[in-house]
Amino acid sequence: RSMNDTIAETLDTFNRLEKERADIDTLALSFGDVMAQVISSGLENSERRIGDALGRAVGAWLYLADAADDIDKDYKKGTYNPLLEQYKTPDAVRENFRSIDVSFGAWARDAHLALALADSNSFGRITDNILTLGLGDEAYRIMNKGSKK
């Protein structure tokens, strides 16, 4: 079985779960599985395990961030969004920021821990900065977008 076949199967699983309107955590982790396959493609042994962990965490974070960032647009268009499925309105999503932020934080932490296992390289400090500061700042920006000041 080729890596492309594995990625395609993982993507098919994600698409099926989205059509079934699975919960946000299931969808985020499934998208994380897709990213894990992409990032770890061609890697072996410990590098592959690190790539899997990093891809899974960053992919899950990205899926949640995209869903959160799109809540107003999806609500207006009536487009499926797993956060709206769970909380019903953009304001309710924002009111539940603390519980959503727990997931943002957990996946950012998992990405940071996976990266810490990798051999250091010239981009280590930049990547570390992105994972420790950038993801948190972006989550805060997304969840406060459109909130009443």
- Summarised one tens digit per residue, pLDDT across range 90-130 is 999 999 988 888 999 999 999 888 888 876 654 455 566 66
Question: In sequence order, which residues have a C-beta less than 8 Å from that of residue 14 and are 6 or more positions away?
Answer: 27, 30, 31, 33, 34
Q: Mean pLDDT, to the nearest integer, of 41-56? A: 85
Nearest partner of 31 among 69, 67, 3, judged by Cα: 67
Query: Would the pLDDT of 80 be above 80?
Result: yes
- Would you state the pLDDT for residue 125? 57
What is the length of the chain? 149
Q: What is the pTM of this model?
A: 0.82
- Would you state the pLDDT for residue 123? 45
Query: Would the pLDDT of 140 be above 80?
Result: no
